[in-house]
Each structure stands twice: as structure tokens, then as C-alpha cells.
With several copies, the nearest count.
Chain A
Amino acid sequence: MKRVLTYGQAINEALCVAMRQDRNVITFGLGVDDPKRIFGTTEGLVEEFGPERVFDMPTAENAMTGVAIGAALNGTRSVMTHQRLDFFLLAMDQLVNNAAKWSYMFGGKSSVPITIRLILGRGWGQGPQHSQNLQSWFAHIPGLKVVMPSTAADAKGLLLSAIFDDNPVVYLEHRWLHNIEGEVPEGDYRVPIGEAQVLSSGQDVTLVSFSYMTIEALHAVEHLEKQGVSCDLIDLRSVNPIDWPTVFESVKKTGRLIALDTASQTLSIASEIIARVSMELFHELKSPPVRIALPDYPTPTSPALSEKYYPRAEDIMQAVADLLNMTLDTDELIQSRTSPHDVPGEWFKGPF
């Protein structure tokens, strides 16, 4: 029987499963035990596992990251949560200088099993300091694993894998995904870090995507199919390590690549996808690879500006059309939308 959960509920379930299974798992962060429970994702945890294992913290991102690292050295597996990635910029020292390098710089004598949940903001005027997507920073750092689930099942499966991984994992969850629904396996369900998933199979173009862009890509793929164009849609799920075999295999088949990203385009994960494919599969490419990502600006706040800032499904369709040198109709897709561009759905009523 299908069991459908939201992405947020799937995260909650993963935390619950991990904490039941291993007393060493704890979770902390601003608001994990407050009435809103991090958009519901930490619901019920403090009640079941107590305030020693589930606790709020001072606004002190750098030290608290170091605390998680230190606790990890004695076997405590922390899941630390931040309501926006932007706040975590304060903790780059502990993450990059310590967590990422600990195993390597001590010759493998110890390691740092921590999971950092960072929520990527978007919409409702989150603006320049509440909507950064810095996955390529993390993925550039040797020693960090970085996952960006798009589906409810992966949200659960990757969080469990992250928690029980013996290394630091940055878990990036997009605010616009918390309410999407999907079938989620029960129990200790894990999705291996570093394995992509092919969400749709086709012949014409390879779309490489992750996180919220996968939702836009799924819309695009659906409408492309109606117009006779079939795509491989690869949902990376992990952006470090990247599942190159799956990417390469698809590009070998289609000869055409569009790389999607939720971040500013320059030096994005999409750049790396294009660079690696161009280096390794140059002769298999039938046409120049394409990148669809955000322009190189901070996020503007006004809805009148953010509308043009974020590429959406129709932009993906258009890129496919350009690649294939054909005309495609995007009107139906655009008209199928029911909510304003700056919210993920009607349920989203601001201000968060």
C-alpha cells in the first residue's frame, strides 16, 4: 500500500527513526523545540526523546558547529538545523577548517559524523540575505558530502544516510519542497549518498538537476512529452560526490546536456557538470551544453524583480526547443499555474 508523506514529514520521520535507533543521535538548532518545529520537521521529537537530545541553542552558529564537531569525536551524532543557509555563513570556519578536514589532517585517526540541515529560502520577498543557495561552496570543499533531495522519499533516505555517515554531511532542503508529497518507505530507509536517480527516460536531451529545480524540470518534461520530446531527467540528489557514471551514460545516449541549478550561474554545480562533461565526453556532444541557473545577482526582494530572477519550467522547455532547433508551446504550462510566482503553492501564506 502506498504511504504518502510530505517532504517535511519525511524529514521528521527520518529524525525519529535515527533517534530511536541510536541514542547517540541528537538534534539541535534555533527553534527545534519551539511551536513551529522548523516547519514541522522536528515535530514530536522533544516529547519522545527529551530536552537533553532535542534542544534549542543560543544564536551562535560558529561555536555550535564546533560543539557538534567535538561531540562527534566522542561518538555523538548531531543533526544541527538552521532555518536559512544564510545564517550558517557564520560557521564556515568550523565547517571547512575543522569538520571537512578532521579525518584527513589527523591521518584518519578520527572523523566527524555530523549532519547540518540548511534550509534554502525562496519567495515571499526573502531577499538577499534569506535565500542564498551556496551548494557549490560546500561541494568545492574536499571532505564534505553534500546532498540536496528533491522528493519526499529521498528527503528521508538521504537524511538517514547522512546521520549514520561517519563524515560531515551538509543536507540542503529547499523551503519550496517541504510541502510536496510522495510515497515514502517505512522504517530505516536509506538512499546512498552519491547516487543519482533517473526520474524520466528519454532520447533527446539530458537534463541534470537537483533540489527544487527538479520540480520545475518535471513540469517541463511532462509538457515536453506531450509535444513529442523525450528527456532523461537525472536528479543528482548528491552534489558531492556527484554520480558521474549516471550523468555520462545519459549524455552518451542523448548527446545533449542541459544542467540546472538553484544558484547563481557562475561557478555553480551546473558549471561543474558542464565542465566535466565537456572534458570527458567532448566527442559525444552533439551541441553545446547549456546551463540554466540564476543570474549573477543577489536575490531582489520585490516580487516584481524576483519574477524574472528565477528560471522556471518554461525556460527549460525553451532551452530544449533551442537545442533541438524546434518550436515548442509553453503557454499551456504557464497557464496551468494557479499561484503567484513568489509562493510554492496556495498553502504558503508568508511571511516565512
Chain B
Amino acid sequence: MTLLINNIERVRLLHGVKRIRCVEETIAARYSEGKMRCPTHLCTGQEAVAVGVCATLRNTDFAVSTHRSHGHYLAKGGDLSRMLAEIYGKSTGCSSGHGGSMHLIDESVGFMGSTSIVGGTIPVGTGLGLSVSLKGTDQVSCVFLGDGSTEEGVFYESLNFAVIKQLPVLYICENNLYSVYSPIQVRQPANRKIYELARSLGVPSETGDGNDVLDVYAKTSRAVASIRSGGGPVLLEFSTYRWREHCGPNFDNDIGYRSEQEYLDWKQKDPVEVFEAKLCGDEVLSKEALSEMERSIVAEVNDAFAFAENSPFPSPDQLGKYLYKEDEGASL
């Protein structure tokens, strides 16, 4: 792998994964208080994909995501306080409390929305790519998706269209081996490789280590450069692992769908700790700088939680708002 990245950027990547980890683990710690009253899918263990990918994207690039979108939203630059406020159901939430954890949006940084129907945003991100291509800008549209969503026909339909029109779409598949409690073996044939499948559809693709933020960053950089220069869609498949239960704050390696050992093996490849150890070992980062980074992350996260908790709930009449956008339309 060519070294595409300087030390300042590497520290920034470390900050990115540590920050997401801190957010997710704080949610996990506080979830049982019963104040975050919506289905919440944590991405602990998968932070490197979000951070490595988004580090290659510009603010003006687009991203869409799934039910498990906290990391993508944050890495793309989404407002942390408004995300937490959304999970708390507050009026200051990024979706004014209408959406919750599964429906995050921050258009100011190109995060165009996450939704909770598996596969639901794959064509949406593809359509963003169509619009970019019609407008002739050099934006990239990034679609985050899970291994489960590649079983939906819409995945295949979307890629087919992206290829025909050579759209500037970056498909990022986080293969964490599970869809809820269903292992990939019961859903896809044993020899299936998602990135190979994409190729056979006509989408150039690669696979990478989703727990290694530098690998993610390097492969995505290349893909983004190709897409930006008109090379058409690319799919990257990153292998990674979700640490906590599918939905909710707990661990569930004891309930029988996967083994504690499997989890522990993946924990060895912790995208945060391994990278942190590397940067410290390489003396890219001093002990003090690391502590300072951690302190500032915790402070930011605590502030954001305080903001969320202290924000007002929407007033009941907000129930009737936002069904339609008031028409502006083209002038008559």
C-alpha cells in the first residue's frame, strides 16, 4: 500500500475513530436510563470504515446510509449534538425529533439521510449520482450499505443503472457477517464475494480490511479519484465486525447466534486500539497528545449529551408539521 497520508492526517483519523467509539459507548452506557426511546443500532467495532471513507470525501460530496448510521453521519461531519438530540427525541434534533436514531440528516455536510429499510438508500444514493452527473459537477455520492442489503434486488438494480450511466457513485459495503442474528452463510452462497459480484455487474471493485482505517483510506482514495475523474461507479467491500447486539446497547454473544470466541478474535483487531497503538508506537502521537485528544473527545461528547438532554421536546403541534414542503416551485 502506498503511503498516501501524512502524520497529521493519521492523527485526524485516530481522532475520528476514537470520537465515534466514545459516542457509541456513551450511548450504550446511558441507554438503559430509558431516555433514548427509539431503536438504536450502534457501530462499535466498525468505526474505521466510516472514518477512512469519509476522510477521502469533501463536504460537498454526498452520503446516504442505513439503520446503523451514527458513524457515517459523524465521520461525514454531521453535527454531534443534533444527532444525540434526535436520539433523545428533542426538537433540536437533526430531524426535529421526527426521525430518531435511524433517520439522521445533515445536508450542510452532504449527509443526505439514513433510513431503516434494508437496501432503501442504495437507489437513493445512485439517484444523487445521476443528479450530479446531470449537473456536471465533480461530486461523489457515497452509499453506505451492509452485507444484508446486497440480498435485496434493489442493490442489483441500482448497480446495473449506475454502470449503464457511469454514475459517480461509491458503494461502500460493510460486511460484518451478520444481518440481525442471521449469519451470512444462510443468506448467501458459501463462495460468494460481494465485491466479485459487483464486478460481474460491471462495477469495478476491491475488498479491504474494514478494521484498518489506513487500508480503508487508501483504497477509498483511489476509488474516489477514479470516480471523480469520470470513471463511473466503484464498490468497496470492507470486512468488519459489530461488537454489540444488532439493535440496542448490550452484548449478546451469549444468546447463541455467534460465539464469544469469534467476538474476541475480532476484538483483537479493534480498529481503535490497534491503530492507536501503532501511532503511539511509531511516535506519531505522544502519550500527552493522546490524553489531550481523549480529554477533548470526552468533553465534546459530554457537552453534546448535555445539549440533548437539556433541549426541549417538540411541542405536540409539531406532530402536524413537515408532511409536505411548502411549494416554492419554478416561478410562474
Contact = CB atoms under 8 A, between A and B. Distances in A.
- Chains A and B touch each other in the complex, with CB atoms below 8 Å apart: yes
Contact of B126 (A53, A67, A124): A67
Interface stretch (A102-110, A195-203, A227-235, A313-321): A102-110
A57 B161 contact: yes
Given A31-B180, A86-B117, A124-B37, A104 B322 contact: yes
Nearest to A129: B116
Contacts of B99: 105-107, 127-128, 301
A62 B320 CA distance: 29
B160 interface: yes
Chain B, interface size category, equals 35 or more
B251 interface: no
B39 A130 contact: yes
Interface string B115-143: 11111111111111111101100000100
A305 to B, nearest CB: 5
Contacts, number: 306
A126 B131 CA distance: 31
A304 B121 CA distance: 27
A351 interface: yes
Interface residues of A, number: 83
Interface string B293-332: 0000000000000000000011110111111111111101
Q: How would you classify the secondary structure of chain B's contact residues: helix, strand, loop or mixed?
A: loop
A61 B325 CA distance: 25
A105 B103 contact: yes
Nearest to B112: A73
Given A62-B153, A90-B152, A70 B129 contact: yes
A351 B247 contact: yes
Interface of B: 31, 34, 37-40, 62, 64, 89-90, 93-103, 105, 107, 112-113, 115-132, 134-135, 141, 148-149, 151-154, 157-158, 160-161, 164, 179-182, 186-188, 247-248, 252, 255-257, 313-316, 318-330, 332
15 contacts: A55-B186, A58-B187, A59-B151, A63-B122, A70-B64, A75-B135, A105-B99, A106-B99, A126-B38, A145-B324, A300-B319, A301-B103, A302-B97, A302-B100, A351-B38
Which are the 6 A-B pairs with shortest beta-carbon distances?
A: A70-B127, A66-B123, A125-B38, A107-B96, A302-B89, A63-B157
